[in-house]
Amino acid sequence: MKKLAQRLAFFLVSASAVAAGVGCSSGADEPYKPQPAWSGKKASLPAPPTIPSTPLKSGDAYTVYGATHQLRSELHNVDVTKDAIAITGYIVKTNYADAPACSIHPAGKKDPDNCDAPIPSFWIADSKGDTSGPMIRVIGWARNFAIIYDAMKAYDKLKPGDSPKEPINDDILNVPIPFPLPAVGAKVKITGKYAVSGRNSGDLVSDPINGVMSQQKIEFVEPSPDKAQFAQKI
């Protein structure tokens, strides 16, 4: 048994030596030959995508980029949709001009049955005047254009620099109509519920890409140079 073990060990050592010798001789037979640099046509590659430099947050509030980015994230979606959040941005668009004449009247008057008016809304973006990038629609600050009509009439009577003693209140949504009324150019901080859809006095709007903000509070960081107004004179 001892002799058998010795023979087996000798065989394994011999086999290893042979294999090592073969490997060394193979490398010595075919030495490395450097190749000249490629001088043919260069490959045409697309430019790398530009990574946004906008931060996810500005202070305690999300940027528009940050909120929309997290909304579309399977991992971070809950961070912006579970509880109320704040989003800061510039008002770049409103739909006052889309209000049909039949919807512009005192709040005590009912719209005609065939009056098709959109939900009062404005949109915010990270850059002033930029409507080409992500925009978040903000609703929940006025139930219809009639209550906005009342607010315009009341706020227009104020002297420059004055604030209303009591803002016009939307008794259906139970929110004060913002003073000043949201207008393009203003920088605002909106606090509310953010999701892919939202309801305004029963009407549903949705935006799976940029989301919808249902306002609970609005703060004006920078004023708008212009007043909010309808397309028609009131």
Kindly report, residue by residue over 139-186, the tens digit of the pLDDT.
999 999 999 999 999 999 999 889 998 889 999 999 999 999 999 999
Q: In the predicted model, what is the mean pLDDT of residues 181-195? A: 98
Out of 33-37, 96-100, 140-144, 190-194, pick the least confident: 33-37
Q: How many separate domains does the chain show?
A: 1
Domain that holds residue 96: 57-222
* Within a domain: 22: no
* Within a domain: 74: yes
Q: In the predicted model, what is the mean pLDDT of residues 130-135? A: 96
* Per-residue confidence band for 35, with pLDDT thresholds at 50, 70 and 90: confident
Task: Provide the token pair at 6.
Answer: 């010795």
* Within a domain: 40: no
Which stretch of DSSP H or E encloses residue 154? Answer: helix 145-156
Judged against a pLDDT cut of 80, whether residue 13 lies above it is answered with: no
Nearest to 212 by CA among 197, 192, 191: 197
* Within a domain: 21: no
Judged against a pLDDT cut of 90, whether residue 220 lies above it is answered with: yes
* Within a domain: 127: yes
Judged against a pLDDT cut of 70, whether residue 14 lies above it is answered with: no
CA torsion sign for 15, 19, 21, 25 is positive
CATH number of the domain bearing residue 76 = 2.40.50.140
Q: How many other C-beta atoms lie within 10 A of the C-beta of residue 122?
A: 28
Question: For residues 195 and 205, what is the distance between their CA atoms, to the nearest angstrom?
Answer: 11
* Within a domain: 61: yes
* Within a domain: 185: yes
Per-residue model confidence as pLDDT tens digits over 46-84: 888 877 788 999 999 999 999 999 999 999 999 999 999
Question: For residues 198 and 192, what is the distance between their CA atoms, to the nearest angstrom?
Answer: 11
pTM: 0.79
User: How confident is the model at residue 132, as a pLDDT?
Assistant: 95
* Within a domain: 47: no
Q: 16 versus 231: which is more confidently predicted?
A: 231
Question: For residues 197 and 81, what is the distance between their CA atoms, to the nearest angstrom?
Answer: 11
